[in-house]
Amino acid sequence: MKFILSLLTWWNGQTIGTRLYTWRNGKPVGEDDLGNKYYETADGSRRWVIYNGPIEGSRVPAEWHGWLHHTFDNRPGNNPLSVHSWQKPSAANMTGTAQAYHPKGSLATGGTARTDYEAWRPE
């Protein structure tokens, strides 16, 4: 069933066009901690990712994102980026899910309308 869905839709994995292009022209370059696989053409002019799971751009770690967009040529496995003490690990975008951030008092968390200001009324 998963194979049929990937043939008909782009959001359920790689499409048939991507699958064929990867098979004919793709040279495997590496894999990240999430299981995403990275490819490039023989001349290095095109780079792409095959996601392991949902197709979501925020699931690509920063070091692979830089490589995909030709920001730097060295693959993350060869020369890892320096990590600063203030940096947090990469996290998926949770917007639109139950795990999304809702500030205190948000109506989504059962809060009520704000009463700490008075609405402007034209005279």
Query: Look-up: residue for tokens 């967009």?
Result: 69
* H/E stretch holding 25: helix 16-25
pLDDT of residue 6: 67
Mean pLDDT of 83-107: 83
For the chain, the distance separating the N- and C-terminal CA atoms, rounded to the nearest angstrom, is: 63
pLDDT tens for each residue of 64-94: 999 999 998 888 877 777 888 998 887 778 8
| The two three-digit tokens of residue 65, written as one number | 């994102």
DSSP code per residue over 23-77 = HHH-EEEEE-TT--EEEE-TTSS-EEEE-SSS--GGGS-HHHHHHHTTS-SS-TT
pLDDT at 121 over 70: yes
100 φ/ψ angles, rounded to the nearest 5 degrees: -65, 150
Helix/strand/coil for 104: coil
Handedness of CA 83, 89, 95, 100 (dihedral sign): negative
